[in-house]
Structure 1
Amino acid sequence: MHDSLHTSPRPAAAGALPGTDLAPVRQPAVEFRDIAIAYGRFMAVRDFSLAIRKGSFVTLLGPSGCGKTTILRSIAGLVDVTEGQISIGGRRVDDVPIYKRNIGLVFQSYALFPHKSVFDNVAFGLKYRKVSKPEIARRVGKALEMVRLPGSERKLPSQLSGGQQQRIALARAIVFEPEVLLMDEPLSALDANMREEMRVEIKKIQKETGITAIFVTHDQEEALSMSDQIVVMNAGRIEQIGTPEQVYAEPATAFVADFLGKANMLPGTVAAVDGLVATIALAAGRSVTALSPRVLAPGESITLVVRPQKLQVAAAGACANRLAGKIVSTSYLGGSAVYEIDIGQGSVVRAYALIDGKVAREGETVEIGFDPAACVLLDAQGRRIA
């Protein structure tokens, strides 16, 4: 496991979710210990423990209302914690006012001063820190070079595109060399092409500066493409922590499997076992084999998780598991297509296929296949079998 972050330093409790017990971080840049945050009777966050390694890029990922922005705001001092403590660089800060926390903030709305020049916007935090004028000029110039907008000091925000305004907001956040950079859905207001460009830019700047970055998004593609570690949240709790590869390929729960990549989830019952190979009778009326991390018991209820990319369409002869189905929808994407395929009993699976010729259409019967090792198995409680 990587040591960019972990949950509570206490030993993992019995029944703990796989994927949430990572090795301790020696000197965390940011640490949460048993955080709970309540708004009246509503618990927005509970049992949140996390340590983040200096210089890492960590993303809090989850649906709206899961608590990710609340956690981000608590680091900044914009939200008070109800229980627990937050430390930055080993110093407890949950009772420290925002202006005494060395933190850079980038918001979705940019939050630029419309009547101030780019220079004054970027220099704003430095002036409050009583930095000398020559040093302010040097740092602003350096920050604008990093975001690829040198020479824009005299412009107003209204003279810039949305992407350029976001770059200015980023320059303002890093110009005073904060200990931690916090970004709350910073790309959601940009168009698709600009979002992709800014993902690359933000990651590049973060690596160049070595700053510890905490990024909030509900966009799984952003999280997978930018992060060193991802913290998947749901209903105020941590569902899973891991590298992008880990949370995608080895989802710890049914929620993670469904939220991250919309995996195919096929309920079934163990019909027979041969060591670690289990025959699963699917609710769809078919039987398949799956490789399990442990020996399963006949009659055990499980859910088979198969990513759409792991399903082979119309070329399943080499696969151990082969299922016939009828295409109910086709989404052509240029070099690839997404098929929705009914495999019986109303069970519909999604398959991604590269296109090298004819695209299959609605109503066609196709054969899909997957390897027994290509699935993740969840138990009756929706937790990954490990």
Structure 2
Amino acid sequence: MPDSHDLSEAPRPAVAGVAKAGAGGPVSSKGAETSQPAVEFRNIDIAYGKFVAVRDFSLSIRKGSFVTLLGPSGCGKTTILRSIAGLVDISSGQIMIDGRRVDDIPIYKRNIGLVFQSYALFPHKTVFDNVAFGLKYRNVPKPEIARRVGQALDMVRLPGSEKKLPSQLSGGQQQRIALARAIVFEPQVLLLDEPLSALDANMREEMRVEIKKIQRETGITAIFVTHDQEEALSMSDRIVVMNAGSAEQIGAPQEVYDAPATAFVADFLGKANMLAGTVSRSEAPTSVMLAAGQTVNVISPRPLASGSKVTVVVRPQKLSVGAAGTSNRLSGRVVSTSYLGGSAIYEVDIGGSSSIRANAPINGQILREGESVDLGFDADDCVLLDDGGQRIS
């Protein structure tokens, strides 16, 4: 039985022969657009005794796309990833790859590439042997193995490293080797289980770019697991925000960030300002009296009755310091200042035991603690949640 990071049934074409995803969507090698989803989760449940780790999870992933499962620890994202690899059994539902059910077949018959957080390289094997491991298991001829390993190492920008041992490589280089090993045999799906969390900040940013570039070049379908919001926003075609074993929201990065569907998504993704209030005027634009005692005007997708309890969600980046030219103005006092180079984060007390965070570019002097400040935002810069924490639509 093969080891768990290259789970393929048979040899595949060389890396260079993969169809690429163009601007119009994934294409086959003949250029015809494909409609068959690469991966489908159909109402899967995963339980350990009485504990349900994943509940009624469904997701369709198109070929050649990069999808991220994002959420806090214990939300079920890694469990879902491991279920498609065959490392976790599902309790009910179905998992499909290219229209073929795979949850009921052995691990080694699933054409999956898996990159671990811990690299999982064989310390006693050379780089060449690590990358070639899955190909040797499939009895690929030696000249073909050498060609494919060379291509994979070129792709991860580590040519000439074939004779080195993992201990002779940096953490970032080891992760590149793990990636090369996962893609060398042309898996149908590439699974990435928090592969960047062990790297330092600079290397993490570099590897984000590299992984995304390689995924685009090969056209491979990738499922990425992370709790890092910046990784999810910068790398993904779609983000699945997970909470307590369920998908809280699924959408493009900008959609999920700018239009959070629930209070959980708003708070987890980007740490939005969530200002509780009561509708004081139902006519457009809707006026909301905040618990802090100040009134703001917002755009509501539908009429709201006066007295309705709502939450105004506004991102820190949407707030302007000075409030010039904006339709809403909140007055307060700076509680803390965090300098970030080109911008600063201000925590501002707006009264009534309420505070608001602004992430604003530095144009002149940095505001100091205790200074008075006006913060502004426009009526269409925010999202309204109802008293149940659901986006009003």
Q: Give TM class, smaller chain.
A: over 0.9
CA distance in 2, matches of 1:33, 1:3: 26
Equivalent residue of 1:164, what SS? helix
Aligned partner of 1:128 among 131, 137, 143: 137
CA distance in 1, matches of 2:169, 2:89: 35
- After superposition, what is the alpha-carbon deviation per residue over 1:174-206, rounded to whole angstroms, capped at 9, x for unaligned? 000000000000000000000000000000000
Equivalent residue of 1:358, what SS? coil
Query: Any unmatched runs of 5+ in structure 2?
Result: 1-22, 26-33
Query: Any unmatched runs of 5+ in structure 1?
Result: 5-24
CA positional deviation for 1:26 = 3.6
* Alignment correspondent of 1:39: 48
CA distance in 1, matches of 2:185, 2:324: 60
- Partner letter of residue 382 of structure 1? G
* Alignment correspondent of 1:304: 312
CA distance in 2, matches of 1:231, 1:297: 33
Aligned partner of 1:218 among 227, 235, 252: 227
* Alignment correspondent of 2:7: none
CA positional deviation for 1:51 = 0.6
Structure 1 residue runs of 4 or more that deviate by more than 6 Å after TM superposition = none
Aligned partner of 1:359 among 356, 360, 366: 366
CA distance in 1, matches of 2:91, 2:185: 30
Indicate conservation of the 8 Å contact 1:3/1:53, yes or no. no
Q: What TM-score do you get using the length of structure 1 for normalisation?
A: 0.93
Aligned partner of 1:255 among 247, 264, 267: 264
Moved more, 25-34 or 64-73: 25-34
CA distance in 2, matches of 1:318, 1:160: 54
Equivalent residue of 2:282, what SS? strand
Aligned partner of 2:193 among 184, 188, 202: 184
* Alignment correspondent of 2:388: 381
CA distance in 1, matches of 2:247, 2:224: 15
Aligned pairs, number: 363
Equivalent residue of 1:28, what SS? coil
CA distance in 1, matches of 2:154, 2:368: 51
CA positional deviation for 1:3 = 11
* Alignment correspondent of 1:287: 295
CA distance in 1, matches of 2:233, 2:327: 30
Moved more, 316-325 or 44-53: 316-325
Indicate conservation of the 8 Å contact 1:304/1:375, yes or no. yes
Q: Taking every aligned residue pair, what percent have the same amino acid on both sides? A: 76
Indicate conservation of the 8 Å contact 1:35/1:81, yes or no. yes
- Partner letter of residue 218 of structure 1? H
CA distance in 1, matches of 2:346, 2:256: 24
CA distance in 2, matches of 1:26, 1:266: 43
1:15-94 correspondence to structure 2 within 5 Å: 26-94=35-103
CA distance in 1, matches of 2:358, 2:24: 34
- After superposition, what is the alpha-carbon deviation per residue over 1:215-267, rounded to whole angstroms, capped at 9, x for unaligned? 00000000000000000000000000110000000000000000000000001
